[in-house]
Chain A
Amino acid sequence: MNMHRRQVLKGVTLGAGAGLLAPLLSRIEAEAAGRDARPMRFVFVLEGNGLMPGHVVPSGIDLVGVDKRDKFEEHALGGRTFSRSLEPVAEFQDKMTIIQGLSGRVCGKGHSMNLGALGAYNSRGGVTIGTGSAFAETIDAALAKQLGGVLPVVGLGLTDNTQHTVIYNCSAWGPGQKLPTICSPELAYNSIFGSVAGGDGERNFQANQDLLDFMAADIRRTRQSLGATDREKLDSYLAGYESLRDRQKRVVEVRDSLDRAKPVPDDKYRSPVETDRLDAQFDLAAAALIGGATNVVTLASGVGDHFFSIRFTGLGIRRDKHGIGHGSGEGEFTSEDLYHKIRNYHFKLIAQLMKRLQAVPEGNGTMLDNTLIVYTSDSAESHHGGGTEWPFVLFGDLGGRLKTGRYISYPGYTKPGHRTFNGLYTSLLHAAGKPAKTFGDPDPMLRDFDQNGPLPELFA
């Protein structure tokens, strides 16, 4: 962590892609030297119940079985017809990268890889609810540590039960430290925009500041009177207040922009209909990014054990997604139709989010130019995913760092040149100026493969 950036760069194992990466590395060095510094934001959109590879294949591209994919392939997206799922984002095709063929078998198997989907490790959940363990940081947290932000990670989610106001399903700051996913849009609004919520806002904010100060002093007094015994516990409690105080200070700094960006919590924030609440969460995500509250948002729709039985009644579907995952249709619609319909809605919201970011000027362009949206599923390639392949859809080029407008496909699992999704996450870290050697746990079945380093094919 304290190593000099240049040293780290020299130490990175680049494998076969070293040549391709050279321009990227020099840019990271340039940024380290203070040139070309730009804001950067990441949005992760996870949707439960699998992202079937076939759902994101545009016209004219042949998707063969993973065992028949022998080499790396690349196709331009321009001029193709998009699938029913992807149709709402067709207008952003030049900002888009569809990635097929990465694997994530290290995460295990099941209805959800839980924290594994963003952590690239086996969180050993799947049999029982919520037992997914935080063995290490997830990629959203790792990026947040690099990018800073008043709220490092804003986790927003959706479950089928409005009682689930906060769940801990897919993100972790570090070992044993799951990050919350707020599933109540109202609660999320208060957490992010409480300080500018109006009314007695100002006074409450000040009162809160005073309370934090008093509590910090109160805990210090206790610590003094009870001595060193078992003190770690009090120290941790105290650190909680100290860091909230620090955050309050930073909230003051972005107060005006938060105030300008804050959404109006309307009926959809309280709606019993899932599509409304998801819409509200995307609304909040856009506002949090635009208002400068955070640089990293994770949106999790029906993600984690066992939140995948969600129903999208707002789309006229009565059957729950678990049933759909097991092949059940409804009326004239097959399971496949319903999958597309639900996924289509998610991409509609993604398109909306991109338009909002595009409307905000930043530097010579817009906020969208400096934002990357990563869409995938927490159960990889199917309803009971195994991670032999793990499709991703990316939007954005992070200020020209990434090459977009393409459909790329890696050689299949165990084929020469195959890559794991750890490489994708490592690439994101590189793009964010943190040239990590790798991210997550390697797949032990791929001992002979180079699983370190970023994916050079992604970079411009």
Chain B
Amino acid sequence: MNAAVARVAPSVALLAVSAVLTAVLWSAVAGVVPAAEADPAVYRKTVQPLLARYCFDCHGPDQQEASLAIDKLNADVAGGGAATVWSKIADKLSLRQMPPVDADQPSDAERQAIVDWVKSEMARGGLHYDDKLPMAAYGNYVPHEQLFGRAPAGPSWSPPRYWRIRPAAYDQLIRNLRQRVTVTNPFPLAGEGGFADYATAYKIDGPGVEVLLRNANVVAESMVKDSAETGRSIPGMREVLLPLCTAGPEQPTDQQLRAAIGWLYGSILARDPTADELREREAFYRAGATKLGPAAATRNLVASVCLTPEVLFRYEFGGGSPDEHGRVRLTPREIAFAVAFAFSDLPPDAALRDAAANGTLQTSAGVEREVRRILDDASIAKPRILNFFREYFGYADAELVFKDRELNTNHHPRALVNDTDRLVQLVLSEDKNVLEELLTTNRSFLPRDYKNELHYSYSVPPDWKRTDDPVTMPGDQRAGILTQPSWLVAWSGNFDNDIVRRGKWVRYKLLGGTIPDLPIAVNAQVPDEPHNTLRERMRVTQEAYCWQCHRHMNPLGVVFEDFDHFGRFRVRESVQDPEKTAKNFDAKGRSLGPVMRQVPVDASAVIEGSGDPAVDGPVTGAVDMVRRLAKSERVRQVFVRHAFRYWMGRNETPVDAATLQAADAAYVRSGGSMRALIASLLSSDSFLYRKHTEQTARAENSQFENVASHPTKKEQSP
């Protein structure tokens, strides 16, 4: 049931689906990949030969690995009852999990041909195939070599897109209009397995619309009330709204009404309305005023501007005529918003708006100048930069990991997160070898607010003196963020370390590797064996079937056994002593509880398959491993890939090679400056240019194509 196949209809959550509505949704699907007759010829001519060549050896007439015989699958993808299997096949191909590495590999175009066919066949039957590659958790599936291993094949660009604004930007928008109203934020931010704010990740559906509508009404109500009664106003509001909500026979005049609409557009969208928009909203107000009275009409007018798509989605479509590569440049207004939102949740400041107006943003150098201005101006808050590191390392989740208080009353996760925030900010302020420093520094901030308790988390002596300066920790115990208690807690369980998730983190975030999704049928649990260490209990993952994935995670995670699950350094850990526990009874024969014994910690591991030969080999523990990783070129480039994802709001593709290589070079050239890296990304072609992908172009043209290629002929499915 976690499969990629999902009927589209349920996106109207909460609501009964009427026949009319279903029709709307189905045409929506058709809009993406338009409906067409099945074309068995495509399967016979294009798809079947590829499957025969690359897949049938193991999943064909002679052999049926995993009980799968692709030659026998009904090629009527949507209607033949095998849609789930076909979408699995498409996943395996696009994620390069099949064919196995030692078999003949199809070319990229051949893989795509099969995937495209599955997708369009499913769409034809009203089913939706979710492409995995654009999802945040699958960013690493583009092979590293295609991005960094060769000279870029051409210039970079992004697809045109809507990008739903972030929850914080929505809050900011409401706050700018109304200081005192409180509204519910309608937007979830999930970010499972990657960065939270991806352009492709979020739609606004039924429940979201409900909340938005409620909020818009609350805001509108308050603006009308304050204009008409209390007079509490933001600049300009009362003057323009009052004539609307207390209309008499003479007013509002057309001029007053247009002034009000203009003011609303300026305050909410930071632009003037177009002539069409003016006309539509004038008519909306006039009709409402006649029917429902002026106050209700004004409320609706205000709400309608709050709800217009451009408020809730950032538009990144570009404008003007295409260049020689078929790309269009974002408009100066779009660039100003994109740059502003790269740093915070506020709309562009005055200087950025000026730059948009005076043509500065029309060149990449001009954009870089503006980006540099913001980066170098300490008085401009740039919370999105710290947030990148919070999301990349995930240490802020320490606050979300539930720990039973009786296990450690000195655990204050918020303070731990705060310490790491300060460490990141310190390294950013130095702006030198930022990644290496973050991975290896043995400096640490210690909590200011919790008396002396927290020295436990950092294993410093009980008599440490409180200081606002960073403290130098023993270099054999701590090296960088991955040894900070915040990170260790964030990647721990409720009662134990989490070797698997930590190892997966290192594999994914530092080495750029991939791990297949957890098979649905697996429900293995680490055994409850209080007499064994976690490392010993993890032996269940060494069964051959499990180990093919766990070998890529466990060695990278087990090194953190140097710490307990509160992030305290340790050289010994305690396990139950079964013999003494068995004898631990009082005179009446009641158990007096478990007896523990101390055993030495074993945090050693052997790294393999990292993608960088200098990284592979045995390590003694966490500090040893992260110091080695910090020197790796591959780790640096993977970090650049992640920065790209965060600031572009999407996964990188081979088209982005030029942008990525330039960003990496800028970082190296500047001696590891984060500012240089960000400036390079935000003035890159991937950031500034838009081009229709083949798929979107096909979607727009295909109705025409379909008519041309196979008009009404209907054939039997093969």
**Do B520 and A441 touch (CB < 8 A)?**
yes
Q: B614 at interface (Cβ–Cβ under 8 A)? A: no
Instruction: Give the segment of B205-213, B354-362, B605-613 that binds chain A.
Output: B205-213
Does B575 sit within 8 A of A, measured CB to CB? no
From known contacts A174-B6, A177-B11, infer whether A244 and B210 are also in contact, taking CB-CB under 8 Å. Answer: yes
B284 touches A179 (CB 8 A): no
Closest to A136 in B: B1
- The smallest beta-carbon distance between A327 and chain B, in angstroms, is 10
* A246 interface residue per 8 A CB criterion: yes
Q: How far is the CA of A127 from the CA of B494 in the complex (A)?
A: 6
A231-B31 contact given A305-B402, A441-B1, CB 8 Å threshold: yes
Which of chain A's residues 85-139 have a Cβ closer than 8 Å to chain B? 105-106, 109-111, 121-122, 126-131, 133, 135-137
In the assembled complex, the Cα of A153 lies from the Cα of B300 at a distance in Å of: 28
Tell me, yes or no, whether B82 is within 8 Å of chain A by CB: no
Question: For residue A240, which residue of chain B has the nearest CB?
Answer: B209
Other-chain contact of B28, A218, A222, A235 (Cβ < 8 Å): A235
Given contacts A228-B31, A236-B205, contact A214 B304 (CB under 8 A): yes
Nearest-neighbour CB distance to chain A for B299, whole angstroms, equals 7
Q: Does B577 contact A (CB under 8 A)?
A: no
Say yes or no for B587: interface residue by CB 8 A criterion.
no
Residues of A close to B32: CB separation below 8 A: 231-232
Q: Does B13 contact A (CB under 8 A)?
A: yes
Stretch at the interface among A58-66, A204-212, A348-356, A401-409: A204-212
Which of B15, B308, B523 makes the CB contact (< 8 A) with A444?
B523
Cα distance A236–B184 in the bound complex, in angstroms: 20
With A229-B161, A229-B317 as known contacts, state yes or no: A235 contacts B494, CB within 8 Å. no
Question: With the chains together, A242 CA to B310 CA distance in Å?
Answer: 19
- Contact yes or no, B494 A105, CB < 8 A: no
Partner among A106, A206, A218 whose Cβ is within 8 Å of the Cβ of B523: A106
Instruction: Give CA–CA (A455, B313) in the complex, Å.
Output: 48
Q: Chain B contacts of A1 at CB under 8 A?
A: 7
Instruction: Give bound CA distance, A250 to B18, whole Å.
Output: 11
Residue B309 at the chain A interface, CB threshold 8 Å: yes
Are B303 and A229 in contact, with the CB atoms below 8 A? no
Contact with B along A281-303 (1 / 0, CB 8 A): 00000000000000000000000
A400 to chain B, nearest CB (A): 27
Closest chain A residue to B525, Cβ basis: A109
Taking the complex as formed, is B162 at the interface, i.e. its CB lies under 8 A from any CB of chain A? yes
Q: Are A227 and B204 in contact (CB under 8 A)?
A: no
Interface centre among A105, A127, A219 (most CB of B within 10 A): A127
Do B293 and A111 have beta carbons less than 8 Å apart? no
Per a CB cutoff under 8 Å, which of A229, A233, A250 touches B164?
A233
- Name A230-276 residues within 8 Å CB distance of B: 230-244, 246-247, 250
| Pairwise interchain contact A243-B203, C-beta atoms closer than 8 A | no
B401 within 8 A of A: yes
Q: Is the CB of A236 within 8 A of B11?
A: yes
**Least CB separation from B27: chain A residue:** A235
B495's closest neighbor in chain A, by CB?
A384
A22 CB–B CB distance under 8 Å: no
Does A226 touch B at the CB level, under 8 Å?
A: yes
CB-contact partner of B309 in A148, A234, A243, A305, under 8 A? A234
Which residues of the partner chain A approach B106 to less than 8 Å between Cβ atoms? none
Which residue in A180, A218, A230, A239 is a CB contact (below 8 Å) of B304? A218
Q: A152 and B296: CB pair below 8 A?
A: no
Q: Does B692 contact A (CB under 8 A)?
A: yes
| Partner among B1, B317, B520 whose Cβ is within 8 Å of the Cβ of A226 | B317
Report how far A419 CA is from B10 CA in the complex, Å: 30
A126 touches B2 (CB 8 A): no
Q: Contacts A207-B296, A230-B159, A238-B24 given; indicate if A129 touches B15 (C-beta within 8 A).
A: no
Contact with A along B1-38 (1 / 0, CB 8 A): 11000110011111111101100110010011000000
Bound-state CA distance A179–B209 (Å) is 13
Do A180 and B207 touch (CB < 8 A)? yes
A11 to chain B, nearest CB (A): 12
Flag whether B602 is at the interface (Cβ < 8 A).
no
- Let me know if B291 is at the binding interface, CB within 8 A: yes
Given contacts A305-B402, A444-B521, contact A179 B308 (CB under 8 A): no
Find out whether the CB atom of B31 lies under 8 angstroms from the CB atom of A203: no
A306 at interface, CB cutoff 8 A: yes
CB of B280 closer than 8 Å to a CB of A: yes
A92 to B601 Cα, complex, angstroms: 59
Bound-complex Cα distance A34 to B244 (A): 54
Produce 1/0 per residue, B301-332, CB < 8 A to A: 00110011110110101000000000000000
**B28's closest neighbor in chain A, by CB?**
A235
Identify B288's interface contact among A130, A210, A239, CB under 8 A. A210
Please tell me if A192 contacts chain B, counting CB pairs below 8 Å: no
Question: With A149-B16, A243-B21, A246-B16 known to touch, is A110 a contact of B209 (CB < 8 Å)?
Answer: no
A414 within 8 A of B: no
- B404 beta carbon closer than 8 Å to chain A: yes
CB distance B209 to A241 under 8 Å? yes
Q: Which residue of A lies closest to B1 (CB)?
A: A136
Interface check A445, CB cutoff 8 A: yes
> Chain B residues with Cβ under 8 A from A221's Cβ?
276, 280
Which of A152, A203, A207 has the most chain B CB atoms closer than 10 A to its own CB?
Answer: A207
Residues on B with beta carbons closer than 8 Å to the beta carbon of A177: 10-11, 13, 205, 207
A352 to B292, CA, bound (A): 42
Q: B696 on the interface (CB 8 Å rule)?
A: yes
- Separation of A305 and B299 alpha carbons in the complex (Å): 39
Report chain A residues within 8 Å CB of B13: 173-174, 177, 179
Least Cβ–Cβ distance between A445 and chain B, in angstroms: 6
* CB contact under 8 A between A215 and B292, given known A153-B14, A174-B10, A230-B161: no
State the CA gap A227–B696 with chains docked (Å): 10
In the complex, what residues of A have CB within 8 A of residue B206's CB?
A: 239-240, 243-244
Tell me the complex Cα distance, A175–B10, Å: 9
Q: In the complex, which residues of chain B have a beta carbon less than 8 angstroms from the beta carbon of A206?
A: 291-292
Are B304 and A229 in contact, with the CB atoms below 8 A?
Answer: no
Q: How far is the CA of A150 from the CA of B14 in the complex (A)?
A: 9
Query: Bound complex: CA of A221 vs CA of B280, how far in Å?
Result: 11
A211 touches B304 (CB 8 A): yes
Which residues does chain B contribute within 8 Å of A246, judged by CB atoms? 15-16, 18, 20-21
The reply to whether A230 and B24 form a contact with Cβ atoms under 8 Å apart is no
Q: How far is the CB of A240 from chain B (nearest CB, A)?
A: 3
- B700 beta carbon closer than 8 Å to chain A: yes
Does B62 make an interface contact (CB < 8 A)?
no
A150: chain B residues at CB < 8 Å are 16
Query: Which of these, B10, B204, B309, B699, contacts A228 with CB under 8 Å?
Result: B699
B167 adjacent to chain A (CB < 8 Å): no
CA of A441 to CA of B28 in the docked complex: distance in angstroms?
30
Complex CA–CA separation, A214 to B213 (angstroms): 12
Q: Decide if A128 touches B16 in the complex (CB within 8 Å).
A: no
- Enumerate chain A residues within 8 angstroms of B192, measured Cβ to Cβ: 131, 133
Most buried by B among A122, A137, A229: A229
Residues of A within 8 A of B2 (CB): 135-136, 175
Query: Please, what's the 1-or-0 string for B216-232, where 1 marks a CB less than 8 Å from any CB in chain A?
Result: 01000000000000000
Q: Closest CB-CB distance, A182 to chain B, in whole Å?
A: 10
Q: Choose one: A126, A168, A229; the contact of B692 (CB below 8 Å).
A: A229
Contact present for B696 and A218 (CB under 8 Å)? no
Pairwise interchain contact A135-B406, C-beta atoms closer than 8 A: no
Q: How far is the CA of A212 from the CA of B206 in the complex (A)?
A: 13
Known: A207-B299, A229-B692, A441-B520. A247 touches B15 (CB 8 A): yes
Tell me which residues across on chain A come within 8 A of B208, comparing CB atoms.
Answer: 240
Whole-angstrom distance between the alpha carbons of A219 and B700 in the complex? 19
In the complex, besides A177-B13, A222-B310, A232-B31, 10 extra interface pairs with C-beta distance below 8 angstroms are A121-B1, A126-B494, A173-B14, A174-B13, A211-B300, A238-B24, A239-B11, A242-B20, A247-B16, A443-B523
> Which 9 pairs across A and B sit closest by C-beta, in order of nearness?
A240-B209, A174-B10, A235-B28, A173-B13, A243-B15, A236-B203, A128-B400, A243-B12, A136-B1
List 6 A-B residue pairs with CB atoms under 8 Å apart, sorted by A's residue number. Answer: A121-B1, A127-B493, A178-B188, A237-B209, A246-B18, A444-B521
